[in-house]
């Protein structure tokens, strides 16, 4: 009797998730990109464990185990964002289902650089059919700047033009507070 009830609730949950475009056994591989200090490793750890902790800068590619988030199953690559390792980003794009490109929303001075690096990747056509969710992170901090301002600094309109408006979208998030990336995952899920 108890297991029938559990099965009933599980199937209700699954249908709710799939009505939202989530769940249904969908799987994907994520590639976390962005400049150093954007919050990639912190996000991946939060997605896998629900916790936030401090990490040293990522100096070699890391592939996570499979983990579930919002009824979806993912594996993720975190390859590091320091200038010295950015040249390897393109080696990791072909196998991924979506790119999560993190931007530090408080680091106005480096947004142009972030936009440049993403545009270089888009220009290579390696990510042609891959959805790119740009995550403006650290929006918990008062110095986080407006999305309009970030978009201007990153030259977002050109990214949209080059990659296609249907395959690129931006979200304001705070990994620290656990806010905003849920919408990004809903959007990514619609491509899986």
Ligand X SMILES: Nc1nc2c(ncn2[C@@H]2O[C@H](COP(=O)(O)OP(=O)(O)OP(=O)(O)O)[C@@H](O)[C@H]2O)c(=O)[nH]1
Tokens of 7: 């099965």
| CA distances to 40, 44, 59 from 48, in Å | 12, 6, 20
The H or E element spanning position 10 is helix 2-19
Q: Is 140 annotated as a binding residue?
A: yes
Binding-site string for ligand X from residue 119 to residue 148, where x marks contact by CB under 6 A and - marks none = ------------------xx-xx-------
Q: Is 73 annotated as a binding residue?
A: no
Residue 25 contact, options Mg ion, ligand X, none, Cβ 5-8 Å cut-off depending on partner type: none
Nearer to Mg ion, 79 or 111 (CB): 79
In angstroms, rounded to a whole number, what is the distance separating the alpha carbons of residues 9 and 34? 39
Nearer to ligand X, 14 or 140 (CB): 140
Residue 127 contact, options Mg ion, ligand X, none, Cβ 5-8 Å cut-off depending on partner type: none
Q: Which of 23, 28, 30, 41 binds ligand X (CB under 6 A)?
A: 41
**In DSSP terms, which residues pair with 135 in a beta bridge?**
102, 171
Footprint on residues 153-172 left by ligand X (CB under 6 A): none
Footprint on residues 3-42 left by Mg ion (CB under 5 A): 41
> Using CA of residue 110, residue 116, residue 117, residue 122, what is the dihedral sign?
positive
CB atoms within 10 A of CB 20: 13
Q: Is 80 annotated as a binding residue?
A: no
């Amino acid at each position: 009797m108890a297991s029938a009830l559990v099965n009933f609730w599980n199937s209700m949950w699954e249908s709710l998730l799939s009505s939202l475009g989530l769940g249904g056994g969908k799987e994907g591989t994520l590639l976390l990109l962005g400049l150093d200090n954007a919050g990639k490793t912190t996000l991946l750890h939060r997605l896998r464990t629900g916790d936030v902790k401090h990490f040293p800068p990522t100096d070699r590619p890391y592939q996570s185990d499979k983990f579930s988030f919002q009824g979806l199953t993912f594996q993720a690559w975190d390859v590091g964002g320091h200038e010295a390792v950015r040249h390897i980003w393109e080696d990791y794009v072909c196998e991924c289902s979506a790119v999560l490109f993190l931007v530090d929303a408080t680091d106005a001075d480096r947004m142009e650089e972030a936009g440049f690096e993403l545009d270089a990747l888009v220009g290579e056509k390696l990510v042609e059919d891959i959805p790119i969710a740009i995550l403006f992170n650290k929006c918990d901090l008062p110095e986080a700047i407006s999305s309009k301002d970030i978009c201007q600094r990153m030259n977002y309109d050109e990214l949209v033009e080059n990659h296609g408006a249907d395959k690129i979208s931006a979200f304001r998030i705070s990994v620290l507070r656990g806010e905003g990336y849920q919408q990004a995952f809903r959007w990514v899920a619609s491509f899986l």
